[in-house]
Chains A and B, each alone.
Chain A
Amino acid sequence: MGNYFNNIFRAISTIAVGMAETWKAMFRPPITLQYPNERWQLPVNARGILFNNVDDCIGCFKCARICPVQCIYIDTVKALPDEDLGKASMGNPIRQHLVRFDIDMFKCCYCDFCTTVCPTECLYMTEEYENGVFSRENGIYHFSKYSPPEAMALRRREQEETMTKALAKEAALAAKKKAAAQKGKETAEA
């Protein structure tokens, strides 16, 4: 019986506590941010969409190598000996054409490793975080300053160069072999 009245008392007192809490909460200002119109101030080290300042990029592949999810795709073409591509703003000489620098932001895990290793600090995270798009292709960000035909031309040049070099190497090898064979013959004859 004592339990019964204790229950009633507890019900009433706990409801009173709850209603008092509700009453207090009614006078607190709302903390809602009307999102598209208002935004939070982002912290200084906020991680957003990656951006590469290609004028400073030396194509060192460090970011691509350290990326834990392999979302950075880089292709470079070596500059010709007589070509001067200038220097990055921190003084590092640029020795290769950056024909492809793609970042797949859908794969990116925002770990910030790539910006840490970047020697010229040209790769950094922006404050943009609204990267929702309607197509998967649009989630891949292209940073190369070469247009596709230019990039294609550079690639072909490198291919030809490699081919020429390989042919030359082969020729040299063949000549060496021939010379060695001739020498062996001569020794044998002698």
Chain B
Amino acid sequence: MTESIGIVLGKLAFVLLFVLNFGGVLTWVERKQSALMQDRIGANRAAIFGFRAIGLFHGIADAVKMFTKESFRPANAEKFIFTLAPAISVFFALIGFAVIPFGDKLLLGGTEINLQLAPLNVGVLYLFAVAGMAVYGVVLGAWASRNNYALLGGLRAAAQMISYEVALGVSIFGCIMIYQTVDLQEIVRWQGGYWGGWLPAWGVFLQPVGFILFLTVGIAETKRIPFDAPEGESEIIGYNLEYSGMGFGMFLLTDFIETVMIAAITVTLFFGGWQVPYLMPDGFHFPWGGTVELANWAVAILQVVSFTFKVIFFLWLQMTIRWTLPRFRYDQIMRLGWKYLLPISLANIVITGFLILMLK
């Protein structure tokens, strides 16, 4: 706790703006990515003073629409919880980012700034706790609506998210066993090494199965297609059924923020977080002998940019998956979660442990 309040606020602003902007831009990305894959152009008509900016203003138009629409509340709804539920949903999606490291140490005017909002030594456990709370917003919103269809959606959300919570936790035990820490900053530092002098020691090379399992479960946790049983647009049920205006907007934003969240955790655990290949704290050290000296601030910027680009890649990947795969039936989701992902995760732990013992 050596950092002054100004620095903490600055980091907070950075993380919040990072996440919320990504969440907003994702609405645009979703439209454009789907258009790209379906030989279309995508939304490009929203214009400010004749400038269309390839449809980027559609996010702003959406936000204005959401804010200005009437937030209708059904007569029988539980007033307090109905109003609170979207806020809970967004809150638990946002606070998870507190422990995601987006850079190493930055020296600024003699003070050492840890580029991580909350340097928590139980970061992974905190993430699990937050992900476990995320289901509350959905279930409470569905229950408070006093609508049977919404309640169905809420029940499905509860069943799906709690089932996948188990697999989510188990799927990264293998990683934690290798890293021997649950501090996310330490996990990223661990991945700064090299095998054979050139291959970055990223978690994905050690835990390929764990990575695939985690990404699958992560997509399920975002409640988006192909795991969108809680929403079920084609069945006209859904936990956000009775919500309109910004209440609905916040549920929508939650989905996008969780997408960013999953991308960020995947990058942190499996793809070296802010690590740039061959970038040491004092500059590049290439395996073929060349070195490039860099100042501390330049290294920090490179690390943040590297983290950002990795996150963008995984956002793109999730969008592609979302627009490629059709949605699962409810029983298929349950079967996938309990009969396939969980046993494979457990087998992954056993095999990882066995290999660690063998190689020690």
Is B320 interfacial (CB-CB < 8 Å)? yes
Chain B 298-326: CB-based contact to A (< 8 A → 1; otherwise 0): 00000000000000000000001101110
Contacts of A132 in B (CB 8 A): none
Say whether B37 contacts A22, CB under 8 Å: yes
For B37, the closest partner residue in chain A by CB is A25
Report the separation of the CA atoms of residues A7 and B36 in the bound assembly, to the nearest whole angstrom: 31
Query: Is B40 located at the chain interface by the 8 A CB criterion?
Result: yes
Chain B residues at the A interface, C-beta cutoff of 8 Å = 35-41, 320-321, 323-325, 339-340, 344
A8, A18, A22, A29: which contacts B340 (Cβ < 8 A)? A8
Q: Choose, from A30-38, A44-52, A111-119, A170-178, the stretch at the interface.
A: A30-38
Task: Flag if B41 contacts A26 (CB, 8 Å).
Answer: no
Instruction: Tell whether A26 pairs with B36 under 8 Å between CB atoms, given A8-B340, A19-B320.
Output: yes
**Chain B CB within 8 A of A167 CB:** no
The reply to whether B41 and A32 form a contact with Cβ atoms under 8 Å apart is: yes
A15 at the interface (CB under 8 A from B): yes
Contact partners of A39 in chain B: CB under 8 A: none
Known A-B contacts: A11-B340, A30-B39. Give 15 more (CB < 8 A).
A7-B340, A8-B340, A8-B344, A15-B324, A18-B325, A21-B324, A22-B323, A22-B324, A23-B320, A25-B38, A29-B39, A30-B40, A32-B35, A32-B40, A34-B41
The residue that A28 contacts in the complex, of B39, B339, B344, with Cβ under 8 A, is: B39
Residue numbers in A under 8 Å from B38 (CB-CB): 25
Return the contact of A30 from the options B41, B340, B344 (Cβ within 8 A). B41
Report A84-141 residues with CB < 8 Å from chain B CB. none
The residue of chain A having its C-beta at the shortest distance from the C-beta of B320 within the complex is: A22
Tell me which of A11, A15, A23, A25 contacts B39 (CB under 8 A).
A25
Judge whether A31 and B39 touch: CB under 8 Å. yes
Question: Hey, which chain A residues are within 8 Å of B320, CB to CB?
Answer: 19, 22-23
- Over the window 129-161 of chain A, the binary record of Cβ atoms lying under 8 Å from chain B Cβ atoms (1 yes, 0 no) is 000000000000000000000000000000000
Chain B's closest residue to A20 (CB) is B324
Give the chain B neighbours of A7 by CB distance below 8 A. Answer: 340
Q: Who on chain B is nearest to A23 by CB?
A: B320
Chain A residues with Cβ below 8 Å from B325 are 15, 18
Chain B: CB-nearest residue to A18 = B324
A30 to B325, CA, bound (A): 21
Residue of A whose beta carbon sits closest to that of B33: A26
* Chain B, residue nearest A7 (CB): B340
**17 sampled A-B residue pairs with Cβ under 8 A:** A11-B340, A15-B324, A15-B325, A18-B324, A18-B325, A19-B320, A19-B324, A22-B37, A23-B320, A25-B36, A25-B39, A29-B39, A30-B39, A32-B35, A32-B39, A32-B40, A34-B41
Bound-state Cα–Cα, A32 to B36, Å: 11
B44 to chain A: closest residue by CB: A34
Closest chain B CB from A20 CB (angstroms): 10
A residues near B39, Cβ cutoff 8 Å:
25, 28-32
A34 nearest in chain B by CB position:
B41
Q: Closest Cβ of chain A: how far from B109's Cβ, in Å?
A: 46
Please give me the residue from chain B that is nearest to A22 by CB atom: B324
**Bound-complex Cα distance A74 to B340 (A):** 75
Interface centre among B321, B324, B339, B340 (most CB of A within 10 A): B324
B50: shortest Cβ distance to chain A, in Å? 14
CB distance from A9 to the nearest CB of B (A): 12
By beta carbon, the residue of chain A nearest B45 is A34
A21 CA / B326 CA spacing, docked (Å): 14
Report chain B residues within 8 Å CB of A8: 340, 344
Which chain A residues lie closer than 8 Å to B36 at the CB level? Answer: 25-26, 30
